[in-house]
Amino acid sequence: MFKKLCVIGVGLIGGSIAKSARENNLVENIIGFGRIDDVENLQLAKDLNVIDEFFTDIEQAVLDADCVIIATPVAATEAILKLLNPFWSSETIYSDVGSTKGNVLEAAKTVFGFVPDNFIPAHPIAGAENSGVQAALVDLFVAKRLIITPVENTSVIALKKLQTFWEKIGALVSIMDVKQHDSVLAATSHLPHLLAFALVDMLGQRDEQEAIFKYAAGGFRDFTRIASSDPTMWTAICEANKTEISPLIEQFKMELSKIQQFLESENHDALFELFTYANQARQRFLNQNN
């Protein structure tokens, strides 16, 4: 499908893309690109047969590549596009895997003055607590949602080819407006991560005096699992999508205040109704995703 795939940022996601593409015979040659201080990770990726070769020079890395995927933290997108700009090819499909999309389009406009028709932002809704190429999985994207966010001038041919690529590695592809994407992900991914980080931060400080974590059960482990995610990545995500996240935080504060009022007024019926609704809403979510 592609003769040469260049993955910029060979970590969990970038490495998993490379492994999946190789496993499904979608590429002939896979090149990794990273900074000079990332050579050890790139060498590990080569040793693990995740990539065939790597470069720290962007011109060499993208030479003759017909697909380039940016798999770095979202905060680095603009810098990567600046590196790519002098060597941008109309014959190549460019994409990314960032968890936010509005800032990605803004980065493209800053660098090029517009969004190139062969630059197609995408977001695989898949991941794990562990990071680095050693955590890459060949089946990470199988049966997982993948959102592509084209713009008005996006090349139809490039869009179709990118969609086919993701479908062939097992992803469930949806096409979505950029603003809708950022709004939906703020509610379903970004806010939950913030809640997990906040809870562990709060209890972690109390744990110093009360040994709370010693007695934490499975529910705590399940709820806070995502607090093990990469802090650097999530700091960048929250900064990039703060306009969508901030109103949700206010809504959640109101929801907690409502529960607090029910408790203080001993309104057990209202509390039961809230829990019942939430229980049924989650079941509908599970039914839709089975």
Spell out the domain ranges in the chain. Answer: 2-176, 181-288
Over residues 3-7, the mean pLDDT reads: 98
Q: Are 158 and 117 in contact (CB under 8 A)?
A: yes
What's the start-to-end Cα distance of the chain, in Å?
Answer: 30
Q: CATH fold of 2-176, please? A: Rossmann fold (3.40.50)
**What is the predicted pLDDT for the residue at 255?**
97
pLDDT band (50, 70, 90) for residue 217: confident
Please give the structure tokens belonging to residue 248: 């949700």
**What is the predicted pLDDT for the residue at 173?**
97
Measured between alpha carbons, how far is residue 252 from residues 222, 267, 278 in Å?
A: 20, 20, 14
Sheet containing strand 122-124, strands side by side: 122-124, 145-148, 172-175
**DSSP structure string for 206-254:** HHHHH-GGGG--HHHHHHHGGGGS-HHHHHHHHHHTHHHHHHHHHHHHH
Measured between alpha carbons, how far is residue 283 from residues 53, 171, 184, 289 in Å?
A: 46, 23, 19, 10
Pairwise CA distance, residues 267 & 208, whole Å: 34
User: What 3-state DSSP class applies to 89?
Assistant: coil
Pairwise CA distance, residues 124 & 140, whole Å: 10
**Where does 72-156 show beta strands of DSSP type E?**
93-96, 119-120, 122-124, 145-148
**What is the predicted pLDDT for the residue at 25?**
96
Q: What is the pLDDT of residues 88-112, one digit of tens each?
A: 999 999 999 999 999 999 999 999 9
Q: What is the pLDDT of residues 115-133, one digit of tens each?
A: 999 999 999 998 766 778 9
Nearest to 102 by CA among 186, 23, 8, 7: 186
Q: What is the pTM of this model?
A: 0.87
Look at residue 209 and tell me whether its pLDDT is greater than 70.
no
- Mean pLDDT of all residues in the chain? 94
Q: Are 99 and 189 in contact (CB under 8 A)?
A: yes
Pairwise CA distance, residues 51 & 185, whole Å: 30
- Please tell us whether the domain made up of 181-288 is placed in CATH 1.10.3660.10: yes
Tell me which H or E stretch contains 256.
helix 242-264
Q: What is the pLDDT of residues 44-59, one digit of tens each?
A: 999 999 999 999 999 9
Q: Are 75 and 240 in contact (CB under 8 A)?
A: yes
Beta-bridge partners for 91: none
How far does Cα 18 stand from its chain's mean position? 16
**What is the predicted pLDDT for the residue at 208?**
66
